[in-house]
Amino acid sequence: MIELRHVDKWYGPNFQVLKDCTTRVAKGEVVVVCGPSGSGKSTLIKCVNALEPIQGGEIILDGIKVNDPATDLPKLRSRVGMVFQHFELFPHLRIQENLCLAQEKVLGRSHDEAQAKGMKLLDRVGLKEHAGKYPAELSGGQQQRVAIARALAMDPIAMLFDEPTSALDPEMISEVLDVMVDLAGEGMTMMVVTHEMGFASKVAHRVIFMDQGEIVEDALKDDFFGKPRSDRAQKFLSKILQH
């Protein structure tokens, strides 16, 4: 479904953020990307739907080459859902308008159709009664659940999560993770950048560990948590699981 081959990315001429990154996410697979901050994991996931351009290698999404100038990027992006660290709901629009906007303008659905779809998904994330509110009136956890519903409204073939719980207060993290666990249970293809190792050990099939722009470890979940091969991954795990 998602394939990265020898991906290189530079910021400026001197700083290489991604070094020869190769991995793949199969249909229905949940892959967690972890690593210390600044390791390039967020950058990597943003390259998948070309929010960030790459300078070397190639990325294939559902058989289409992402970094090909001839690719219709808006169309390709509309088929992949993305959830951001800071939610990025549109603050000037009500919740239901947030859910309908791209359905109508990008997919060309009728307003009623988009509305019905939006309400169904809003109900699914448990926020139906908030449809008429503005994003600022919701808590962080609620906003993030709306953001997930907004992405799902596009009927994506895969979902990308960029640290979806990092900006949340601790008591709100589980309500967002619950939605993601459900989604994984339904067989959604997911690539998730997160520090939530509990989530990883529960639903991930594979774990990718990154450090300094490299994919240091790409292992099945049990292998990764059982006995990571690299020193760096061992150190990272011992630090993050200490408490």
Partner 1 sequence: MFSSFDFDVIRRSLPYLFYEGMTFTLTLTALSAFGGLVFGTLIALMRLSGYRLLGRVAGLYVDFMRSLPLVLVIFWFYFLVPYIGQWLTGASRPIKVGAFSSSLITFIMFEAAYFSEIMRAGIQSISRGQPAAASALGMTYSQTMRYVVLPQAFRNMLPVLLTQTIVLFQDTSLVYVLSITDFLGAASKVAQRDGRLVEMYLFAAVVYFTISCIASWSVRRLQARISIVR
State which of residues 106, 116, 220, 241 lies at the interface with partner 1 (CB under 8 A). 106
- The beta-carbon contacts of 130-133 under 8 Å, at least 24 apart in sequence, are 130/95, 131/94, 131/95, 131/96, 132/94, 132/95, 132/96, 133/94, 133/95
Per the structure block, which two tokens stand in for 23?
């991995």
| CB closer to partner 1 out of 53 and 185 | 53
Residue 197's CB: how many other CB atoms inside 10 A?
18
67 scored as a contact of partner 1 (CB under 8 A)? no
State which of residues 90, 119, 120, 218 lies at the interface with partner 1 (CB under 8 A). 90
What whole-number distance in Å separates Cα of residue 223 and Cα of residue 204?
12
State which of residues 117, 130, 145, 150 lies at the interface with partner 1 (CB under 8 A). 150
**In this chain, which stretch among 12-20, 81-89, 108-116, 196-204 interacts with partner 1, using CB under 8 A?**
81-89
Per the structure block, which two tokens stand in for 13?
């001429």
51 scored as a contact of partner 1 (CB under 8 A)? yes
Q: Locate tokens 């001197």: which residue?
A: 14
Total number of residues that touch partner 1 (CB under 8 A): 29
Q: What CA–CA distances, in Å, run from 88 to 4, 93, 95, 136, 142?
A: 26, 12, 12, 11, 12
Instruction: Identify residues 152-211 at the interface with partner 1 (CB under 8 A).
Output: 154
151 scored as a contact of partner 1 (CB under 8 A)? yes
Which residues of this protein are in contact with partner 1, per CB under 8 A? Answer: 46, 49, 51, 73-82, 84, 86, 88-92, 101-102, 105-107, 136, 150-151, 154
